């Protein structure tokens, strides 16, 4: 499915979907527990994959639709009956589809099973590295191996992993830490995670700790990394998912580059949380956008401005790279996105993909192993056909670029927004964007 975008001006109010990161963690935390209602979840492909995994481990997951989920017909709650701390051995293969978060979080959960679980996913997911997490599960007494012996799915995991200390690199994926902390809480001895390298995407571990605390599970920082005591129980009658700042970034960027004269874009649901991607507000401010965050009301207002290039470190905020790259193509001067090597290991190599796509639209870019530089002063965006590469974040960022390109922009793979923002194109159209999907 393709999205066709023409030059447009936008204004109005919009609400970004609930956080995908929080939804994943809340559903799995509820699975580790006895019974929880997760309210305001993101009802999309990736969290549904995590829900299926909870069911495979012996839980029950009911996506409840009361017909009032932001008007999109999605679920307004997830009623989870958990597996009470110890996942059962699945009857069948667990298909994580395209969800890297599901694969990694569920790998550690599978390590707790008495038998063996087999985890797989689509072509993209089967290309993503899992090796350090597999080694960690094995060092804790479980079995964890790649069927192709390349550190990538399909995976075979189980044999009742226990607690203890484990050392892993921190610069591949923070999800490895998340997975071990969540599983470690229900082991007898707990798990201490020592980081061998600097932790990238650190705010995502803080999201994990915030969710675990809401379920009554204690974690702690240590000099070497993190630790979770064992013998704990996940328990919460209800958990409410906050709004998603990664998804908000596209709406805010649209307001910054294409706000109607005298108009503004107001994004609702922006309450403070541990989400690192709330840094988009600071990025826009530093670039010169007129942006205001009313934290009490949970609203961010952004108006167009004369944007200037800045340097943005995405070490903790990898999902912002596509958005910042588009902002850089519109801004005067040079925008340098640094500390970005780990962004190459997402649904696709987002550094290379954004460089290629923006170049196709006429942007002046320089790609390095760990950085992407966009020279807005040397750029005049023109409509082109650009490829979403099966990556929801590329599709949404390139759609924003199409708002200010000369001529029509076609973004392929538009259906992949279902991963995190199923109503994205409707929301953009409601703001005034000239966009159609076919």
CA nearest to 396, candidates 248, 203, 267, 204: 248
100 is in an annotated binding site: yes
Q: Could you say which residues of the chain have pLDDT below 50? A: 68-71
pLDDT at 345: 87
Q: How far apart are CA 175 and CA 159, in angstroms?
A: 21
CA distance 410 to 241: 33
* pLDDT for the residue numbered 65: 87
- The CA distance from 195 to 296, in Å, is 36
For residue 25, say whether it is annotated as part of any ligand binding site: yes
Residue pair 230/140 in contact by the 8 Å Cβ criterion: no
Q: How far apart are CA 188 and CA 11, in angstroms?
A: 54
189 annotated ligand-binding residue: no
Structural domains present in the chain = 2-17+243-437 (3.65.10.10), 20-240 (3.65.10.10)
Catalytic residues: 319
| Cα 18 to Cα 195: distance, rounded to the nearest angstrom | 30
pLDDT of 123-156, one tens digit each?
A: 999 999 999 999 999 999 999 999 999 999 999 9
Write down the pLDDT at residue 321. 98
- Whether residue 226 contacts residue 204, with contact meaning beta carbons closer than 8 Å, is answered with no
Measured distance CA(177)–CA(179) in Å, rounded: 5
Residue whose token pair is 């975008």? 5
Say if residue 174 carries a ligand binding annotation. yes
Q: How far apart are CA 277 and CA 243, in angstroms?
A: 11
Is the whole-model pTM more than 0.85? no
Residue 158 neighbours by CB distance under 10 Å = 21
Which pLDDT score is estimated for 281? 98
173 annotated ligand binder:
yes
Interatomic CA distance for residues 122 and 393, integer angstroms = 17
Tell me if 350 is assigned to a ligand binding site: yes
Residue 201 known to bind ligand = yes
Per-residue CA distances from 78 to 35, 40, 85, 87, 331 (Å): 11, 8, 19, 19, 42
- Sheet with 2-6: list strands edge to edge: 385-387, 409-412, 2-6, 434-437
Q: Is 420 annotated as a binding residue?
A: no
Q: How far apart are the C-alpha atoms of 327 and 254, rounded to whole Å?
A: 9
Q: Is 175 annotated as a binding residue?
A: yes
Residue-wise pLDDT tens digits, 307-331: 999 999 999 999 999 999 999 999 9
Residue 235 · residue 216 · CB < 8 Å: yes
Gap between the terminal Cα atoms of the chain: 6
Sheet-wide strand order for 12-15: 12-15, 265-268, 299-303, 290-294
Among 396, 376, 374, 375, residue whose Cα is nearest residue 386: 396
Q: Is 264 annotated as a binding residue?
A: no
């Amino acid at each position: 499915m393709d999205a066709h975008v023409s030059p447009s001006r936008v204004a109005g109010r919009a609400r970004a979907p609930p956080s995908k990161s929080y939804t994943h963690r809340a559903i799995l935390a509820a699975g580790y527990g006895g019974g929880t209602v997760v309210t305001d979840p993101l009802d999309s492909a990736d969290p549904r994959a995590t829900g299926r995994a909870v069911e495979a481990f012996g839980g029950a997951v009911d996506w409840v639709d009361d017909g009032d989920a932001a008007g999109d017909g999605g679920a307004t709650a997830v009623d989870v009956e958990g597996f009470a701390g110890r996942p059962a051995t699945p009857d069948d293969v667990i298909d994580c589809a395209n969800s890297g978060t599901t694969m990694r979080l569920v790998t550690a959960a599978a390590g707790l099973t008495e038998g063996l679980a087999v985890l797989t996913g689509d072509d993209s997911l089967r290309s993503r590295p899992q090796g350090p997490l597999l080694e960690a599960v094995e060092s804790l007494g479980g079995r964890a191996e790649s069927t192709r012996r390349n550190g990538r799915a399909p995976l075979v995991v189980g044999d009742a992993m226990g607690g203890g200390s484990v050392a892993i690199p921190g610069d591949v994926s923070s999800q490895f830490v998340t997975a071990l902390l969540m599983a470690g809480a229900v082991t007898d001895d707990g798990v201490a995670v020592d980081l061998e390298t600097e932790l990238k995407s650190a705010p995502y571990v803080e999201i994990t700790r915030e969710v675990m605390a809401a379920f009554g599970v204690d974690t702690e920082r240590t000099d070497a990394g993190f630790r979770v005591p064992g013998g704990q129980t996940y328990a919460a009658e209800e958990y409410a998912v906050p709004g998603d700042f990664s998804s908000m970034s596209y709406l805010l960027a649209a307001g910054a580059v294409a706000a109607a004269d005298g108009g503004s874009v107001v994004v609702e649901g922006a309450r403070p949380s541990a989400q690192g991607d709330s840094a988009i507000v600071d990025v826009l401010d530093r670039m010169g956008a007129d942006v205001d965050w009313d934290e009490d009301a949970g609203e961010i207002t952004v108006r167009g401005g004369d944007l200037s290039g800045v340097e943005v470190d995405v070490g903790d905020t990898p999902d912002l790279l596509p958005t910042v790259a588009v902002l850089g193509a519109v801004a005067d001067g040079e925008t340098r996105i640094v500390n970005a090597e780990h962004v190459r290991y997402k649904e696709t190599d987002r550094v290379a993909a954004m460089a290629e796509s923006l170049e196709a639209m006429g942007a002046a870019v320089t790609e390095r192993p760990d950085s992407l530089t966009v020279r807005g002063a040397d750029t005049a965006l023109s409509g082109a056909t650009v490829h979403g590469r099966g990556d929801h974040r590329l599709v949404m960022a390139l759609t924003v670029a199409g708002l200010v390109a000369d001529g029509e922009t076609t973004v392929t793979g538009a259906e992949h927004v279902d991963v995190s923002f199923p109503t994205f194109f409707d929301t953009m159209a409601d703001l005034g964007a000239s966009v159609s999907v076919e």
